Every structure is written in structure tokens, then in C-alpha cells.
Structure 1
Amino acid sequence: MSIKPILFSSWSSSCSWRVRIALHLKDIDFTIKPVNTSKGEHKTKEFQEINPMKHVPALKIDGKTLIESLAIINYLDEAFPQKPFLPTNIYQRAQSRAIADVIASGIQPLQNMKVLKYTAKEGESLNLNFARHWIKEGFESLEEIVSSSSGKFCVGNEVTIADIVLIPQVTKARQFKIDLTPFPTICRIEKDLKVLEAFHKANPLRQPDCPNDLTDYNKSFFE
């Protein structure tokens, strides 16, 4: 790999966060190209040429541009097989993929800003109760799943794609003021993951586009 990969990323985007974790787990040196979604940079004609879906992340690597966080993570796992994101056991591989899909398909899309704006009632800017309902319901199912599959992490004792996807979602749940007390397994796994170097480096607070004027309250979600 002669040219350093470029990650089009937004500091607090959970999907961007997943890919940053994956890149750091693989020890891949990469450059971040910040995309300010609050200013609509993801909707520009220039960015649409990079990702027609008009959202982050996108990754330029090996002369190609990849989109969608799980597709990018799977590409990295196949292109750089060291420190694999899936267990060798075929059943645990399926479990890891299932947990990642539960979060990436069943929970995270229902908290997206465009969904919350579209479903808002007259006079509301965002339908926060919509997001809280689906995050809480999703976590109830997720807690049951990881309670049976986990060792130290989501599936057994090695970091998998499930853990990569879990960390950003737990933080988003806190931002939406979800009480995480009923989900002790999820919280325990999060605590064990946060001390790992790759997860530390990928943290939103350590990104070049993280705002300098964040309040201590807003910083607390990511710490």
C-alpha cells in the first residue's frame, strides 16, 4: 500500500467511528479528511461524487473508494488478515455478524438525524422520543444476545466486528439519555473495550475535527 488511505469522516458520526476503530485495530496508517455534516458538507456535489449516498464514512484505499461502514470493515478484514475481526469458530463468526447487524441495521438507522427530523411532529425540531423508544427496545434484545455469547467481549474473549459496532452505539444511547442500568453485560463489555489502544485512538474527542468548544457535559459522553 504505497498511498496512505484517506478516511472521509465526521468526528461524532457512529459509522465513521466504527471505521476508525477498525483501521486502528489493523495498525493501518491513514489520513482523516473531515466532513462537517452540521454545515451540510456531506450534501455537496463534490462529496456526492465520493459517496452518492451523501453520508460518512467513505474510504479511499488501494486506488478505490469504499462506502458503508460494515462493507469497509469487511474489506479491511479481508485485505489485512492480521488481527481478524471474526472468530475462527464458524458459529461465533455468525454470532459476531448478527450482533453487528442488530446494531447497524436494527438500532442505529432509527436514531439518524434525517429520520428524527422527518418523523417530528409540528413544532418539533427532532422526534427524540422515536429514537429513545427504538434504542431502548434494541438494547433489551441486544443485552439478551450478548449475555449468552460474551466472554470478555461481545463474542468470546477476542475483539470482533460486534465490538467495533457496539462502542459507538452505547455512547449514542447515553446521548439520547437512555438509562443503561438494565444492560449490565453491554456496559461491562464497553468498559473492557475502552481501555484498548485502538478504541482510545478512535474516540471522537481525539479527532482533528472535534470542536474545541465542547462543554464538559458533552465531553463526558465520550470519556
Structure 2
Amino acid sequence: MKLYSYWRSTTSFRVRIALHMKGVAFETLPVDLVKGEQRAQDYQVINPGKGVPALVLDDGTVLTQSLAILDYLDRVYPEPALLPVDPIERAKVQAAAHAIALDVHPVNNLRVGGQLKALGHNQDDVVIWMNHWMTEGFTAFQSMIKTDTKYAFSDVPGLADVCLVAQLYNAHRWGTDMKPFARLLEIEQACLALPAFDAARPENQPDAG
């Protein structure tokens, strides 16, 4: 498989974690979002959304959107599972994951920051904006997860942990106040101690700058 990825992309980070967790071999093809390589015509053929990640399967099929890719990986490579079997528990894990992947990330990505600047806001404004939404999202996430497990919902990591750890990378990068979120930092520490999460870290990618 080939993964079109950018080292600092939180959505790419999610997919890298899952690929490593499931032991799926892949080749990283960097797409420099800062340089605008995602807008190149040849890349738009691969991903019309002009973003990352995009996963090219062995037969040439292209999958886009990180949550869709994660769902595919979980169905084709079911062990270790990202989601529990029980329908209620499954919905709870998805809800927490979506609190970050659908509520925080879409208003915090590079495109949104660029548009805010185009509307006259400066970098400080953009950072305040991002930290506001991360704080909102982390507050919701922390109230949705369990308090007596090693990871967000159990003693093995799952989809919620994958989404959390990727977003926490941005939180540390932009100086989000993490004092109210000790539980989330404990989960992050436990996750990053695992080889799959460590291998997926942005700084361990071939295009890390």
C-alpha cells in the first residue's frame, strides 16, 4: 500500500497509527501541505478533496478521508480492533472519536487557518482560534470517556485514542493549556509508549522537517 501523507497532518497521523497497529506494510509518499502540493493537478486526480491522507491499495484503489480509511482497515484487518463489538459501547467510542475528528479538526486545519488570515486575522488570532476549539473538544472528550481504564475506554487502545493522540500533537504545538486535561495526558503517555503509536509520530516520518 501507499499512503499519501504529511508529517504534521493529524488525519495522516491517525491512519499511520492504525496501519502500524494492524501490522500493515505501507510506503509513505509525502505531500507538502505548506508548499501547496495537495493542490497540484496530478494529486487532485488521486484526492479531489486536495488533502491528506489518501491510501492506495495494492490493486490501485484509492481511499480518502481518514475515518473512512480507518473503517476500511478495521474491517479488512480486524485485529486488533479499533471499535468494540457491543453496539452501545461501539457508539460511545465513535462519539468520543468524532468529538475530535468531526468537531475539532475541521475548524482547526491548515485550510481554515489560511482562510482566517485571508480575512485579515493574524497568526496570533489563528492560534487563539485553534486553542479555543481544542479546549472545547478536549473538555467534551474527557467527559465522555471512562475514568478507570488505561486508555479512553478499555485497557487496549482504540479509535478514540487514535484520534486523541493525533490531536494532542497539535495541542502541544500550539500551546493549548492542558492543565484541565490530566486524564488525556495519561492516555497519551500510555499510547506513545506503544511501538505502533511511536512509529506514527510526526517527528518519525521521512518528510519531518
> TM-score band (shorter)?
over 0.9
State the identity %.
35
Q: 1:75 aligns with which of 72, 75, 79?
A: 72
Q: Report what 1:144 is aligned to.
A: 143
The whole-number CA distance in structure 2 between the counterparts of 1:164 and 1:38 is 24
Q: Report what 1:7 is aligned to.
A: 3
On the 8 A contact 1:146/1:185 being kept in 2, the answer is no
Q: Report what 2:129 is aligned to.
A: 130
The whole-number CA distance in structure 2 between the counterparts of 1:170 and 1:43 is 27
Residue 154 and residue 49 in structure 1: after superposition, are their counterparts in 2 closer, same or farther (change >3 A)?
Answer: same
Q: Report what 1:88 is aligned to.
A: 85
Q: Report what 2:22 is aligned to.
A: 26
Q: How many residues align?
A: 206
The whole-number CA distance in structure 1 between the counterparts of 2:146 and 2:153 is 9
How far is the alpha carbon of 1:33 from its aligned partner?
0.6
Gaps of at least 5 residues in structure 1 are 212-223
The whole-number CA distance in structure 2 between the counterparts of 1:155 and 1:22 is 17
How far is the alpha carbon of 1:173 from its aligned partner?
1.1
How far is the alpha carbon of 1:117 from its aligned partner?
2.5
Residue 28 and residue 123 in structure 1: after superposition, are their counterparts in 2 closer, same or farther (change >3 A)?
Answer: closer
Runs of 4+ in 1 over 4 A off after TM superposition: none
RMSD of the TM alignment (CA)?
1.5
Q: Report what 2:196 is aligned to.
A: 198
The whole-number CA distance in structure 2 between the counterparts of 1:175 and 1:146 is 24
The whole-number CA distance in structure 1 between the counterparts of 2:122 and 2:198 is 36
How far is the alpha carbon of 1:159 from its aligned partner?
1.4
| TM-score (normalizing by structure 1) | 0.88
Greater RCO between the two (CA within 8 Å, min separation 6)?
2
On the 8 A contact 2:13/2:201 being kept in 1, the answer is yes
How far is the alpha carbon of 1:119 from its aligned partner?
2.6
**What does the per-residue CA deviation read over 1:139-170, in whole Å, with 9 as the maximum and x for residues that have no partner?**
1111111245x611111112111111110111
On the 8 A contact 1:59/1:66 being kept in 2, the answer is yes
Q: For 1:112-131, list aligned pairs within 5 A.
A: 112-120=109-117, 122=120, 124-125=122-123, 127-131=126-130
Alignment of 1:164 with 2:162, yes or no, is yes
The whole-number CA distance in structure 2 between the counterparts of 1:122 and 1:161 is 37
| TM-score (normalizing by structure 2) | 0.93
Q: For 1:172-183, list aligned pairs within 5 A.
A: 172-183=170-181
Gaps of at least 5 residues in structure 2 are none
